[in-house]
Structure 1
């Protein structure tokens, strides 16, 4: 059977096995910084190659090669590259394809770390940025692009308010205007959205989240064309955001159950998002799988098989209620990050965005009562009971 015809689960389990180089069913951990060269000519050959897997681990490693083959297959991309974190993946893309003074178009509400990276470039390298307020407005995206635009960045669903961007529209805009397009696919994962298939040039994710799936590693991935990924590898070879082989091995292990995990978590999220809409203690629910979500129609078109496992909801009681709610939970864990098998929740107003200026929080859609909820694969009834306990502790019981 042609591997290109495999389903997503088969791909996640079997893609890349040719990179193993042994008869072990599970790939060994190549915990080494350097590999023996059989002859001098081999050293010269590897030194001139793009990402040789058995030369020097900053350049490549068999554990990296195998993971990258799986991610590229899942993303329907020509090639993929693994890095030491999601942020190092984004930094690599920006360092590779942007120069001082270039212009970038990006959503006004994106992951705080990505925004901080762009603003750092804005301050230090004169990067010019146009921030798109309404990501569903094609005209606003179109108007933001200038002759000096070098990169269009999208994040869908966005962090933390789950806004949606039409990736096919952004890809078409980029092609027409000759601008490279990049999408953060962390929340959706390639199980639900494959940006490259929709015409986006580069799909970037924090592999720390769903791809790893067990809250035990930190890594990032970039997927795209052979030429673009080779260019990104050239940057990493110099800057050195190298993941360690054990983390790459953990990531490969996590990818084998990706389909099962994210689909179960998304089923939980879909059910809980619908249930939360009926709770009098909840002011709003942000989940693209709800028909009331403004981006639902676009999400239904570009997300296949589910709407992801992230949601956010706003409590009626504001800041104090949000804090009390989180402190009362026993099944759902209060923590940053997302995408593990366990459910995680955080209260941005008193945690990640405590020191964020009010006007910035308003732009990001972060109210005092907003909770970001990474739904895990626990039993749905137990998650509902835990949320009920949170409502009670927050003084919001019916």
Structure 2
């Protein structure tokens, strides 16, 4: 059972038993292999689950320590770190789906996840039902089939910040014996713990808020001991192992996770309310606004804030969105999210430039949509920078 500690105490002190030294900060065990003190240790480690001092593709003290922290933060029995978020997602698919199975997932979903699903459709005969309105529980229920093996959700979703009622969808999964998986990248366990609502697995790109400094690529799978060990067995043979340096950096980032996420969330709440009053803005998507269609659900299942992601749409469209981003000085143009610095992207001219119009419509990506990952900078500086963007957008018309 997790210790009754707060998230920051947990992030700093959990997993210390994996540090065999007297160093206050665990050293980086930058080694591929560990010395066996006796021959019998070779047989014992070879039969063990994720031994931390045998061979780094199987386990490493840095990985074991950060996994202990992540498991406690998520309220999970066990966690597994991987070389990227997509590696974590692909492992879950490989572990729990087979050819001909049926998957239920939101129609507006992270592009990388959609590409993974499409690959399974094309190569393994996976069938998929795409949920158009994630707030409609009847649509989720109607999508289920006898061959449904997995329900996949994002909440809030990428990029539209749509909400899903986690408890209700988890109950559907349990009723029909279907594994439920939540991509928890956007809220992080500071705001949402999907396992508490009955989900089987919580997965995330640890590259984002968990590491938090735009210097690590990593992923995480958290859930029951049995499910995570199943994924570890695949990691052992497929090799998407997180290297010791990246695991150490991820752990260092986690120590300030709660502080960073709450500060960024406070910034986002204030900026979302400010954006509502800007004449160049047609729409603001943020779960913390009462105008958001999923606000009531967000208030019920998100803790200590509503996250640091904002979507807002410029009235003037494509060229205005391009000029807006190019005029910014404090806010950085970039396609990722979750770092200490604020990042912004214009999907229509950046990540989704070559995406088919009908796909962009399904994903909710309009010509004027901007995806804004709010960082921990000072609010007045962010507002001043956004004002420069609005001025440039106005001049572009």
Matches within 5 A, 1:1-398: 4-395=3-394
| Distance in structure 2 (CA, Å) of the matches to 1:381 and 1:199 | 40
* Cα distance per residue 1:306-355 (max 9 Å; x no partner): 00001110001100000000000000000110000000000000000000
Deviation for aligned residue 1:395 = 1.4
Conservation of the 8 A alpha-carbon contact between 1:75 and 1:223:
yes
Deviation for aligned residue 1:396 = 6.1
RMSD: 1.1
| Distance in structure 1 (CA, Å) of the matches to 2:143 and 2:82 | 30
* Cα distance per residue 1:72-124 (max 9 Å; x no partner): 00000000000000000000000000001000000000000000000100000
Alignment gaps of 5+ in structure 1: none
Deviation for aligned residue 1:131 = 0.5
| Distance in structure 2 (CA, Å) of the matches to 1:247 and 1:328 | 33
| Distance in structure 2 (CA, Å) of the matches to 1:244 and 1:396 | 48
Q: TM-score, normalised on structure 2?
A: 0.99
Conservation of the 8 A alpha-carbon contact between 1:326 and 1:347:
yes
Conservation of the 8 A alpha-carbon contact between 1:215 and 1:340:
yes
**SS of the residue aligned with 2:181?**
strand
Conservation of the 8 A alpha-carbon contact between 1:317 and 1:396:
no
Conservation of the 8 A alpha-carbon contact between 2:2 and 2:75:
no
| Distance in structure 1 (CA, Å) of the matches to 2:242 and 2:3 | 28
| Distance in structure 2 (CA, Å) of the matches to 1:94 and 1:29 | 31
| Distance in structure 1 (CA, Å) of the matches to 2:22 and 2:395 | 58
**SS of the residue aligned with 2:394?**
coil
Deviation for aligned residue 1:178 = 0.2
| Distance in structure 2 (CA, Å) of the matches to 1:289 and 1:3 | 29
Structure 1 residues 195 and 396 mapped into 2: Cα distance closer, same or farther (>3 Å)? farther
Deviation for aligned residue 1:220 = 0.1
Conservation of the 8 A alpha-carbon contact between 1:3 and 1:11:
no
Conservation of the 8 A alpha-carbon contact between 2:106 and 2:132:
yes
| Distance in structure 2 (CA, Å) of the matches to 1:58 and 1:263 | 34
| Distance in structure 2 (CA, Å) of the matches to 1:173 and 1:253 | 37
* Cα distance per residue 1:22-44 (max 9 Å; x no partner): 11110100000011111111101
Conservation of the 8 A alpha-carbon contact between 1:168 and 1:199:
yes
Conservation of the 8 A alpha-carbon contact between 1:16 and 1:67:
yes
Deviation for aligned residue 1:193 = 0.1
* Cα distance per residue 1:159-215 (max 9 Å; x no partner): 111000111111100100000000000000000000011110000000000000000
Alignment gaps of 5+ in structure 2: none
* Cα distance per residue 1:260-306 (max 9 Å; x no partner): 00000000000000110111100000100000000000010000110
* Cα distance per residue 1:212-240 (max 9 Å; x no partner): 00000100000000000000001111110
**SS of the residue aligned with 2:354?**
coil
| Distance in structure 1 (CA, Å) of the matches to 2:91 and 2:218 | 13
| Distance in structure 2 (CA, Å) of the matches to 1:3 and 1:335 | 36
**SS of the residue aligned with 2:227?**
helix
| Distance in structure 2 (CA, Å) of the matches to 1:370 and 1:94 | 31
**SS of the residue aligned with 1:124?**
helix
